[in-house]
Amino acid sequence: MGHGVDPERVEIVEEVPGSDIPVHLMYLQTWDGLYAPIGLRTPSTDRRYPLILLASGNGGGGMGWVRDAVRNRGYIMERLLAAGFACAWIRYRAEVELGYNRGGRLVRDVRTGRDLFNRSPLEYEDEIAIIEQTKELPYVDPDRIGLVGMSHGGEMILKITSEYHGVAAAVAAEPAAHEFLMLNPGDAVSVNPDTNLRRVELMEMTDPAAVRQLIDQEVALRRIEPIDTPILVVGRDGDHLQGIFRLTYELLAEAGKDVEWESFDHPLHGYIYPQRGPDGEYQVDETQERAIDRVIGYFAGRFGI
């Protein structure tokens, strides 16, 4: 085509500052026909590599967010590439307040020859759509797809693996799994008076035993029961939601799932994703290096690298 880009399969290769491995910027179609951006990097394109998809927090931000993450939160990508993995920052639609609890399982049908859903897809379902399409890329090993999700992205891993079994292993880092566990925080959260939406980021949930008393354990275990994906849960010592992180691990372990636990003491929420400082260099300390070693080692062991 005259402009060099296929509008139905957009892929733009862009250099990454400080690296000789570029990023492939792509738009992948979600279930309702809208597009989600990803920035994928691979050691080369001459063979298939295991792929690690990186997610962080709530959605939104589009391709601008992805490009910024590749440029300024790409330290973990460099480590993964050096270890023989392809990797990608992904983006998805914004979280819907209690959409997972209230919306129920997505039902897909056809009306007049077109898709018909009982509700709009949610952000974790965008990630499933992304997973399925990356498996079709010629430089990705479809049997060795791994996920890393931090904060809300960690909760998304639980939602994904509860319904979808096409992932080989996952790391749920600081998983804000209050919705998945059907947590009733009571007075521990405030409500934005302008929107009537909860401010769950302000709640204090440090003790897993106390958090256990606030969840609907029957619902949580029913959601956990189908999970067969190996998961490493990574906490953060002293985090105000550490009780949720730890209880997530405990419930998975009690249900007999293939799950491991690790926790590190670090002041940064999302410490597995080091960021560039004002001088343009990545600010990485020993604790972050150990945490990333643990994450990469976990995937390497699962994927036979």
pLDDT tens-place string over residues 183-238: 998 877 888 889 888 888 778 999 999 999 999 999 999 999 999 999 999 999 99
Half-sphere exposure at residue 160, Cβ-oriented, CA atoms within 13 angstroms: 32
pLDDT at 1: 45
Place of tokens 């951006």: 37
235: Cβ contacts below 8 Å, ≥ 6 apart: 174, 242, 245, 246, 249, 261, 262, 263, 264
- Beta partners for 39? 25, 89
All domains of the chain in start order, with CATH: 11-303 (3.40.50.1820)
Given a cut of 50, the residues of the chain with pLDDT beneath it are 1-2
Q: Is the dihedral of CA 180, 184, 189, 195 positive or negative?
A: positive
pLDDT tens-place string over residues 165-198: 999 999 999 999 999 999 998 877 888 889 888 8
Distance CA 86, CA 83 (A): 9
pTM, rounded to two decimals: 0.96
pLDDT at 198: 81
pLDDT at 156: 98
